Amino acid sequence: MIRCPIPSSRLCLLLALALLPLRVAFAGAAPPALIPQPAQLELQQGRFSVDAHTPIVLADGGASTRQTADYLIDLLARTRGLRLKIGKGDGAAPAIVLQRDPQAPVSEAEGYALSVTAQGIRVQARDDAGLFHGAVTLYQLLTPDASQGRVDVPALSIRDWPRFGWRGLMLDSARHFQSVAEVERLIDQMAQHKLDVLHWHLTDDQGWRIQIKRYPELTRIGAWRTPPGAGHDGEPARYGGFYTQAQIRQVVAYAAARHVTIVPELDMPGHAQAAVASYPELGVTGRRPQVSADAGVHPWLYSVDEDTFTFIDHVLDEVMALFPSPYIHVGGDEAIKDQWKASPAVQAKMRELGVTSEDALQGWFIGRIGRYLEQHGRKLVGWDEILEGENLPADATVMSWRGTDGAIKAALLGHDVIMSPSPGLYFDHVQSGLADEYAGRLGVESLQSVYAFQPVPSVLSAAQARHVLGLQANAWTEHMPTMAHVEHQVFPRLDALSEVAWSPASANNWPGFLARLPAQLARYRSQHIDVADGAFAVDIAIDRNVALVTAKATVTLSNQAGYGAIHYTLDGTAPTLASPRYDLPFNVALPTTVRAASFAADGNALAAPRERVLDRPSLLSLAGTELANCPGMDFRLILQPTPDATSTQPVYAVNLFDSCQLYPPTLMDGMAAIHVDAVRLERNFQLAHEANRVVSRPHATPFGELVVHADRCDGPVLASLPLPDPAHSPRRFALDAALPALSGEHGLCLIYTAPIDGPLYALSRVALKERR
């Protein structure tokens, strides 16, 4: 129930609508900006002031309680400049009390109770994790804004516990490598969002990142790759790295102190190229491949002989000694079976086992690994392909990534499941369609779509739904070479994930979440986290053709989230709260420059200003990321100039299967020429059985052409621009051609005919030039 001191007030009505799903009693103060929001929160009369003289009192002698207090003290000092100290309380003096108490009001695992009165603050929990989560909530109460020092905390009572036990994030360190400090930085943010599982992806075709002392070649060879174009255009001559066992122990301890469990993943039977490159006898063919510099699905599998299983068992022994997690992730995904099908030895093994298909053989493989883990007190978890076959251990957990069907099937079979579906929880997908978005996959998986995710499939019965342990988002790093890229893709979607994973389903409320997010953005700023602002960045929209004809435009401003006050300028200055506020579309005469930004209620900018120049040259010039794919193929990547580039811009739109894009219909009267800023990219992608979908077109010159068609991709050819020799030309180059006289509105289809066994080509920018 929401109680308002003035029941008829409009403010109370708006608060009631925003907070209706949450059990909140309102007593005259604004609700605190907590993410994730607690299960139960009641605001009361009064407040308590916290300053540097407020002691933190440890009401029990537990080492974990002291550790939690130290964490809170350090975090507040770093972010708010509020330097608290541990002191002794007499029960009467104002203080912050942390208490591990077997009789604490909340009995659920990881739960806590937090109360604020005029006399002080008390956090109680029955377990260490709960006390830590309560301290994290207290940290948020003590950082309601970007101010420094003293803070007034409203009187309240919180009873809180998590909805799910598995609240996870996967970090892929195999494709691109992060330092120990960077991994710990991410773990710290997870802890501040009450996430409790870091799924650490440590081996794949592109690198083996964990030291195994019994097999030193795994890191001497398997941890390093030679990039395409090595040593040129910013590409390193060698790329890679690995974590020593001492470093892994350090990260595991760091996570454990924050009540985050690290679940390691070692891929098998596929995604094994780095391992086979290190020890060719582990593979099927006996040949030694290179550690792959390509993204995608590779053909290299582990063999199924006894020596290979001895190797895997020995590796798992060292892994289990490093990671106390009850779960060990063994991958199991995307294992194409061509090598197994072609191997007489593997086929003989299938006959020996009575296995009739290679998919069933994978099931036997995973089952054998699962039994070994079970013998050592661990549980196997793998991607949903592990359901193939009939040998999966009963206690194996299935991580559903190919949509939700895997989760449904696993739950029906009695297996525990973790919801991690693509594309909804794949954070390698971009957060917005803005032109300045970082590299990643399309389509857009927005902040709102993550918040709207439903973890429990509706087709499951109540008993089957209990098999859903929780949910996890995945940060695959093929297109995230640096931690800045990772943070940009993860934040602020991690906020949405945390609330779906922790808060009760009835609390899910998008307007309320948005209202609480600005305070969290301030916390990110204080910790220098690279947060994407695409949900709040202003899109500046007009009708191009109307503007080209009339030299006037009606400007519409909006942002993806539909939140915040938008202010704009027309004089080239940066918009502020004093600038005109956008309420309705407005008219401008060309030329002009529109700059716009959105602001939260506290006056802080929600996103960096965006700018659009409105004049004829700009309207006739479009970035390749603004041009749509040609019909028939939706797949689309936003790529960097080189695979390991540390820059965030420029980026280029690429369809791996068809190098064809559409310039939108434009009034062509008076257009004399076309100018293209073109770019050549590495074709470092393994497409496996989908390679036959790549469109190959005939070319008339040695290295292919950029062909411009009118209206349709089979329409009249307007221009054919030969491509330069890749061996003797820069990656970025210009192409120019005259256009025949056209009248009326026409679209353009731009197709690269370069051989598909060579480089990829993309459009950096396409501009039409007018007759003078």
What does the radius of gyration of the chain's CA atoms come to, in whole angstroms?
A: 29
CA distance 538 to 148: 30
Residues in Cβ contact with 528 at an 8 Å cutoff, skipping those fewer than 6 apart: none
CA distance 596 to 582: 9
Are the C-beta atoms of 529 and 492 separated by less than 8 Å? no
339, 283, 337: which is closest to 307 by C-alpha? 283
Residues in Cβ contact with 625 at an 8 Å cutoff, skipping those fewer than 6 apart: 435, 437, 638, 651, 652, 653
204, 203, 572, 635: which is closest to 443 by C-alpha? 635
Mean pLDDT of 60-83: 96
CA distance 257 to 135: 13
Mean pLDDT of 629-649: 93
Count CB atoms within 10 A of the CB of residue 63.
Answer: 8
Are the C-beta atoms of 84 and 73 separated by less than 8 Å? yes
Length of the chain counted residue by residue: 772
Taking only the tens place, the pLDDT of each residue in 397-428 is: 999 999 999 999 999 999 999 999 999 999 99
Percent of the chain with pLDDT over 70: 96
Element containing residue 675 per DSSP (H, E): strand 671-681
What is the residue type of 325? Answer: S
132, 20, 134, 6: which is closest to 515 by C-alpha? 20
Taking only the tens place, the pLDDT of each residue in 241-280 is: 999 999 999 999 999 999 999 999 999 999 999 999 999 9
Structure tokens at 518: 């600005």
Taking only the tens place, the pLDDT of each residue in 284-307 is: 999 999 999 999 999 999 999 999
645, 619, 540: which is closest to 585 by C-alpha? 540
Count CB atoms within 10 A of the CB of residue 48.
Answer: 22
Q: Tokens 């342990």 correspond to what residue?
A: 469
CA distance 129 to 350: 47
Q: Sorting pLDDT into bands at 50, 70 and 90, what band is 58?
A: very high
Of the CA atoms within 13 Å of residue 112, those in its CB half-sphere come to: 25
- What is the pLDDT, as a whole number, of residue 29? 54
Indicate the range of 64-73, 121-130, 386-395, 430-439 predicted with least confidence.
Answer: 386-395
Element containing residue 57 per DSSP (H, E): strand 55-58
The DSSP code for 251 is H
Residues in Cβ contact with 566 at an 8 Å cutoff, skipping those fewer than 6 apart: 538, 557, 558, 559, 581, 582, 596, 597, 598, 599
Report whether pLDDT(374) > 50. yes
Catalytic residue among 176, 193, 259, 271: 271
Structure tokens at 653: 């739109």
What is the residue type of 401? Answer: W
- What is the pLDDT, as a whole number, of residue 8? 36
> What is the chain's mean pLDDT, rounded?
94
Report whether pLDDT(90) > 80. no
CA distance 130 to 619: 56
Taking only the tens place, the pLDDT of each residue in 679-692 is: 999 999 999 999 99
Q: Sheet of 112-117: strands edge to edge? A: 23-25, 40-50, 151-160, 112-117, 120-125, 95-100, 55-58, 85-87
Structure tokens at 324: 């106390």
Element containing residue 159 per DSSP (H, E): strand 151-160
Mean pLDDT of 201-226: 98
- The neighbouring-strand residues paired with 709 are 717, 749
Element containing residue 140 per DSSP (H, E): helix 128-141
CA distance 566 to 233: 40
Residues in Cβ contact with 369 at an 8 Å cutoff, skipping those fewer than 6 apart: 268, 312, 316, 330, 380
CA distance 314 to 329: 16
Question: Can you give the pTM of this predicted structure?
Answer: 0.94
The DSSP code for 456 is S
Structure tokens at 704: 């292919």
Mean pLDDT of 142-150: 96
> For the chain, how far is it from start to end, CA to CA, in angstroms?
70
Question: What is each CA distance from 426 to 111, 220, 450, 521, in whole angstroms?
Answer: 28, 31, 10, 22
CA distance 402 to 390: 20
CA distance 676 to 622: 10
Sign of the CA dihedral 345, 351, 356, 361? negative
Question: What is each CA distance from 513 to 34, 38, 112, 520, in whole angstroms?
Answer: 9, 12, 22, 11
- What is the pLDDT, as a whole number, of residue 30? 67
Q: Is 204 a catalytic residue?
A: yes
Q: Sorting pLDDT into bands at 50, 70 and 90, what band is 143?
A: very high
Q: Sorting pLDDT into bands at 50, 70 and 90, what band is 6?
A: very low
Report whether pLDDT(22) > 90. no
Count CB atoms within 10 A of the CB of residue 459.
Answer: 11
Higher-pLDDT residue of 27 and 744 is 744
- What is the pLDDT, as a whole number, of residue 632? 85
Percent of the chain with pLDDT over 90: 92
| Cis bond before residue 617 (omega within 30° of 0) | no
409, 415, 412, 375: which is closest to 394 by C-alpha? 415
- The neighbouring-strand residues paired with 594 are 612
644, 659, 636: which is closest to 763 by C-alpha? 659
Q: Is 271 a catalytic residue?
A: yes
Q: Which stretches of 59-100 are assigned E, i.e. beta strand?
A: 85-87, 95-100
Q: Is 201 a catalytic residue?
A: no
208, 211, 207: which is closest to 293 by C-alpha? 207
Taking only the tens place, the pLDDT of each residue in 149-191 is: 999 999 999 999 999 999 999 999 999 999 999 999 999 999 9
- What is the pLDDT, as a whole number, of residue 240? 98
Count CB atoms within 10 A of the CB of residue 84.
Answer: 20
- What is the pLDDT, as a whole number, of residue 5? 32
Q: Is 349 exposed, middle or buried (0-12, 13-18, 19+ CB in 10 A)?
A: middle
Are the C-beta atoms of 661 and 627 separated by less than 8 Å? yes
Are the C-beta atoms of 230 and 238 separated by less than 8 Å? yes
Element containing residue 557 per DSSP (H, E): strand 552-559
Q: Which stretches of 244-286 are assigned E, i.e. beta strand?
A: 261-268
Catalytic residue among 204, 358, 384, 682: 204
- What is the pLDDT, as a whole number, of residue 391? 79
130, 137, 100: which is closest to 112 by C-alpha? 130
